[in-house]
Amino acid sequence: MSLEISRPARDMIAAGQLFHQRGWVPATGGNFSARLSSDRMLITASGWHKGELDDSAFLVADLDGAPEDRSRKASYETLLHCQVYRFDESVGSVLHTHSVANTLLSRRYESIRLAGYELLKLLPGIATHDAAVEIPVFENDQDIQRLASRVNDHMKKVAMPAYLIAGHGLYAWGSTVAQARHRVEALEFMFECELRELENKR
Ligand SMILES: CSC[C@@H](O)[C@@H](O)C(=O)COP(=O)(O)O
Ligand SMILES: [Zn+2]
């Protein structure tokens, strides 16, 4: 495996193990990618357990989602990764999780407002806890092309640091795998806080 591929693969393998330990990628849920160049990415193959990734779990695809090796099957949600890379050329990694907190909140709200958290500072353009962000929730859809196009239309109108798919999971990104992972960790922490707050109000 070339150095170009082995570094992001190593970081995504480590992210998968961490997310699995936290319960954020049950069964074969979740998928990960890293940009390799302006028009290529390394992405998880479909159907892998994300806590058990190894070098063979990744494949190179273009930003239309076509694998270089046509015999390989990229993630079912590849086009959602392509959409983010195409929308913002500074994005270097996209990570997707299926946690209990993000799933429950996304089933309940049309968007999640996160305000007053110190960890908001992990998100782009935020330098203080005294801030708020809206994380939009999109209706789930097995037609990933149609879902990617809905996300794209919304992104053109409203800046977002991440988004949720209802009853499904979180998509977050960053300039590197490490930054995307930190953002997933921060968002999952804040979602967990929101969920517990909600439960305490009952
Ligand atoms: C089989 S349940 C999970 C999938 O439908 C999907 O949401 C997911 O996150 C993983 O799909 P994958 O094709 O392995 O990248
Ligand atoms: Zn998913």
d(CA 105, CA 67) in angstroms, rounded, equals 34
Per-residue pLDDT, 5: 87
Q: What is the pTM of this model?
A: 0.98
- CATH code (residue 118): 3.40.225.10
Q: Is residue 111 lining ligand 1, measured as CB closer than 6 Å?
A: no
For atom 4 of ligand 1, the residue with the nearest CA is 29
Per-residue pLDDT, 4: 85
Q: How far is the CA of 118 from the centre of ligand 1 (A)?
A: 31
Per-residue pLDDT, 178: 98
For atom 2 of ligand 1, the residue with the nearest CA is 29
Residue ranges of the annotated binding site for Zn(2+) are 96, 98
Compute CA 128 distance to the chain's CA centroid, rounded to the nearest angstrom: 23
Does this complex have an ipTM over 0.90?
A: yes
For atom 6 of ligand 1, the residue with the nearest CA is 29
Per-residue pLDDT, 110: 97
Note down the domain range covering 180: 3-201
For atom 5 of ligand 1, the residue with the nearest CA is 29
Q: How far is the CA of 97 from the centre of ligand 1 (A)?
A: 10
Q: How far is the CA of 127 from the centre of ligand 2 (A)?
A: 30
Q: How far is the CA of 167 from the centre of ligand 2 (A)?
A: 10
Here the contacts of 160-164 (C-beta below 8 Å, separation 24 or greater) are 160/133, 160/134, 160/135, 160/136, 161/123, 161/124, 161/133, 161/135, 162/123, 162/135, 162/187, 163/135, 163/136, 163/137, 163/138, 164/102, 164/105, 164/106, 164/112, 164/135, 164/136, 164/137, 164/138
d(CA 201, CA 2) in angstroms, rounded, equals 52
Q: pLDDT per position in the chain (202 positions), as tens?
A: 788 889 999 999 999 999 999 999 999 999 999 999 999 999 999 999 999 999 999 999 999 999 999 999 999 999 999 999 999 999 999 999 999 999 999 999 999 999 999 999 999 999 999 999 999 999 999 999 999 999 999 999 999 999 999 999 999 999 999 999 999 999 999 999 999 999 999 8
**C-alpha distance from residue 23 to each of 92, 101, 117 (Å):** 24, 10, 22
Q: How many domains does the chain have?
A: 1
